[in-house]
Chains A and B, each alone.
Chain A
Amino acid sequence: MSIVRYLSMAVIFIFCLIAPGTVFYYLSPWGIRPDLMMIFIICFSLYSRVRPALALAFVTGVLTDLYIGSNLGLYTFTLCCVVLVSIRLQKGWEKEGRALVTGLVFAATFVGQGVMALLAALSGFGWSLGEGVKMVCGVAVYNALLVLLIYPWVRRFFWEGRGWKGTRY
């Protein structure tokens, strides 16, 4: 990967880190907001090999945990699980398409949020079962809808290796 691609990835990472607490605070129907970091990791793992995807998930997970400043390991563990689930679900694909990627993002986010909810419950977060289920399903649907909208760009950036202006790296 070239330096420009690394920089693009860093910008996307920063956006995924701060947008849920700022921009998406105002775009949260029923209090549900997307988990952009999960979308980023899922999309990367769909068009990458296991080891680089796991490495990215680990690094972004650790940085996200440190940035949030509590419950270290929650994001790191969850994102690594999401990579393994995404790659497992992707196996056997002959070709990819908008519907398939959207479905996969839904399934992987659902599993990822489920893992998060389970870890959170074990750590003593005070959430009722109903609210937890609403959160897991809501975030999965929100993530899937977002990917449905941004699919052409996701495909270009992660699969064809092109950035915003179509430059090949």
Chain B
Amino acid sequence: MKKKSNPIGVSILVFAIVLGTFAMMRLTNMGTPFFNPVGDVMNKVLQPVEGFFLRVGGDVKEGVSSMFAFRSLQRENEALRQDLDRITGENALLREELLAGERYRALAEGEFQTPAWDNYEKIGASVVSRNQNAWYQTVKINKGRRQGVAPHAPVVAGAGLVGKVVSVTETTAEVLLITDAQGQASAFVRKAQGEIVYGVLYGTYKRGPRLQNDGALQMDFSQEDEVELGELVMTSGLGGVFPKGIVIGTVSDVMMQGSGLMKEARVTPAVNFDGLEEVYVMKEHS
């Protein structure tokens, strides 16, 4: 005779499994370190294969897109030439300012603090995989605990801020991109006249295309703050994770929020997250 199942028992079992899963997920949430030797070994073994697959994928994409991009390349070339002319002019001006700054620094030697960047050692790393878990915008890099990478370490690329390390294995690390909504940063806008406007910067998942690969950032200010298009956004160092003075991007749009109490600015990241291949993990000098 077939054994009859007890519906109450089954319900309790299902409830317990759901509760257990939920508790486990909360305990091992993104950024929470936990003992994971199996994951460490798997990441170590599969890391070269991942790097190979990522390179192959990138090459295929580049090959296919270049076949269809002649006209846009021509337009881009023209725009780049114009940019180059403008930048050459700006560069001459900046050189003058740099020389003035050097003279000023020499005068003030010993008076000012060392820039925050000098307190950090930079560990170079390559991106081996992206967004493994579709719920977060992350990249996996090929440096880990063995090379001195630790959770919450800031990560930068040549042009600016990338994000922070959220989990580390022996040979790899997971980096949460600044474009992810979970990755907030305290930032300021450096105005052309030299004054500073502070605000909080975060990913735009609520309104923007969070599922897309390219980053989108938003920064909130108080109503009185004056922020102009093209102004530079940098980390303020107040949050405790990112050191002061790392470039995040430039202001591309400013608008008043619906409530009328706050202003918000769209920030174009300095880093091209879609083409990110190499990064630096910043490790504080011991």
Contacts and interface: CB of A to CB of B under 8 A. Distances in A.
Interface of A: 14, 17-28, 30-33, 63, 66-74, 76-77, 119-120, 122-128, 131, 134-135, 138-139
Contact of A18 (B39, B46, B169): B46
B25 A72 contact: yes
Nearest to B168: A69
Given A18-B50, A25-B57, A119 B38 contact: no
Interface string B104-142: 000000000000000000000000111111111000100
A128 B181 CA distance: 11
Nearest to B22: A122
B211 A123 contact: no
Given A18-B49, A131-B210, A126 B205 contact: yes
Q: Which residue, A30, A67, A74, A120, has most C-beta atoms of chain B within 10 A?
A: A67
Contacts of A18: 46, 49-50, 53, 129
Contacts of A71: 25, 28-30, 133, 135
A162 B53 CA distance: 26
A71 to B, nearest CB: 5
Contacts of B213: 25, 28, 31
Given A22-B130, A69-B169, A126 B182 contact: yes
A21 B30 contact: no
B26 interface: yes
B133 A73 contact: no
A17 B46 contact: yes
Nearest to B61: A26
Nearest to B62: A26
A22 B54 contact: yes
B29 A26 contact: no
Interface in B11-60: 17-18, 20-22, 24-32, 34, 36, 38-39, 42-43, 46, 49-50, 53-54, 56-58, 60
Given A22-B54, A25-B130, A126-B182, A131 B22 contact: no
Given A26-B60, A77-B17, A123-B25, A21 B181 contact: no
A18 B51 CA distance: 10
Contacts of B27: 72
14 contacts: A14-B49, A18-B50, A21-B132, A33-B134, A63-B42, A66-B39, A67-B46, A69-B39, A70-B167, A73-B20, A73-B22, A74-B25, A119-B22, A123-B29
A63 B34 CA distance: 15
B239 interface: no
Contacts of A25: 54, 57, 129-131, 213
Contacts, number: 136
B28 A72 contact: yes
B167 A66 contact: no
A14 B46 contact: yes
B74 interface: no
A20 B132 contact: yes
Contacts of B32: 70
Nearest to A128: B206
Nearest to A134: B211
Given A119-B22, A138-B211, 5 more contacts: A21-B129, A25-B131, A72-B28, A123-B26, A128-B205
B134 A131 contact: no
A119 B136 CA distance: 14
Contacts of A23: 53-54, 56-57
Given A31-B209, A131-B211, A135-B134, A21 B46 contact: no
B174 interface: yes
A67 B209 CA distance: 27
B212 interface: yes
Q: Which residue, A69, A135, A139, has most C-beta atoms of chain B within 10 A?
A: A69
Given A23-B56, A71-B30, A126-B181, A30 B46 contact: no
Contacts of B24: 72-73
B26 A131 contact: no
Contacts of A33: 131, 134
Contacts of B26: 123-124
B79 to A, nearest CB: 25
A135 B211 contact: yes
